[in-house]
Amino acid sequence: MSASDLKRQVGKFYDQVGWQIEADGFYQNARYEDLRPVSAEYIHKCHMRVKRHLAPTGKYLLDAGSGPVQYDEYLTYSEGYQYRVCMDLSFVALQEARKRLGEKGIYIIADVANLPFATDTFDGIVSLHTIHHIPIDEKVDVYKGLHRCLKPGRTLVTVDGWSEVPLGSVMAFMMRVANRMRRWTGKEAPPMPNEASAVQTDAAEENSSQAPVGTFVLKTSANWFHRVMKGQLPYEIRVWRSVSVKFLRSVIQPEWAGRFWLKVIYQLEEWFPHFFGEKGQYPLIIISKEERDTR
């Protein structure tokens, strides 16, 4: 499948499925997050890590792959900016984003791999859970393109997940223990979305009348990122969140002091942000543009 076909698939999925509001008032895409109260404080604080690394004020903040700006924390990133430029492949996403931002937003259908913006345009850039939808041979150019559009002296922040997670074996062990304890107590874990829906099937794609059940996702690893980006751009890998949704739903339970253990995890992430950024599930990648880049 060509890159253009994959991107059409991504846009189609989010138009028809991902950004549709379900009966409980959440977007379908929220099924891939842990929305339980026991995890709420931890997830909120992880979301707010993005804001730390953005300039607090400016004229334009680019949200590359904005979706509907679905979480309240996302809105805070552009509080000090005059405009938030929401860019996405999904028309439905931009319709939903407009409901949240109104005239503060500028809404553009575009591909993050082919940015329609001038050099040195944005005072800040975020790209959240977007670059994992990009084919492997375009990923480096995506980072370079975002960097090109950034103003000197400012930063861009991306969040995605790793495919290779060195701490995954530790998480898997803890999940096995939790599942064994659950069998003893008869308590079921909160259900996960159907993992088969993470990748679009050829059969569904061929049937144009059928809403897609998933979309293209290709995650990388910290080793891959260092190998292809070293010397290309100034970057730093920190932690956004070290544990997966599957871990949260399996191990973190209210009756097992779940809030306490998430406070412990969060504090460890704060003490060792680079270790957990490279070894954990979700990195926060900060790319800066120095003043000398324009000379």
Domain 3-26+54-294 has CATH 3.40.50.150: yes
CA-closest candidate to residue 126, choices 42, 44, 53, 224 = 53
Domain locations in the chain as residue ranges: 3-26+54-294
The pLDDT value given to residue 20: 78
The token pair at 29 is 């895409």
The pLDDT value given to residue 151: 97
Name the residue type at position 78.
Answer: S
The pLDDT value given to residue 18: 65
The pLDDT value given to residue 112: 94
**Three-class secondary structure of residue 151 per DSSP:** coil
The pLDDT value given to residue 47: 98
The pLDDT value given to residue 6: 67
**Are 64 and 146 contacting, i.e. CB atoms less than 8 angstroms apart?**
yes
Distance of CA 93 to the CA centre of its chain: 15
Q: CA angle at residue 133 from 71 to 74, to 5 degrees?
A: 15
Query: Per-residue pLDDT tens for 42-68?
Result: 999 999 999 999 999 999 999 999 999
Residue environment code for 47-63, b if the CB has 16+ CB neighbours within 10 A, otherwise e: bebbbebbeeebebbbb
Pairing state between β 124-128 and 155-159:
parallel
Query: Per-residue pLDDT tens for 105-139?
Result: 999 999 999 999 999 999 999 999 999 989 899 99
How do the pLDDT tens digits run along the chain, 295 residues long?
666 766 677 777 776 776 777 767 777 777 788 889 999 999 999 999 999 999 999 999 999 999 999 999 999 999 999 999 999 999 999 999 999 999 999 999 999 999 999 999 999 999 999 999 898 999 999 999 999 999 999 999 999 999 999 999 999 999 999 888 877 766 665 555 543 333 333 333 333 333 344 677 889 999 999 999 999 999 999 999 999 999 999 999 998 999 999 999 999 999 999 999 999 999 999 999 988 544 4
If you compute the radius of gyration of the chain from its CA atoms, what whole number of angstroms results?
Answer: 19
Query: Per-residue pLDDT tens for 91-110?
Result: 999 999 999 999 999 999 99
Q: CA angle at residue 274 from 162 to 240, to 5 degrees?
A: 55
Going along the chain, which residue ranges are E strands?
Answer: 58-64, 81-88, 105-109, 124-128, 155-159, 235-241, 282-288
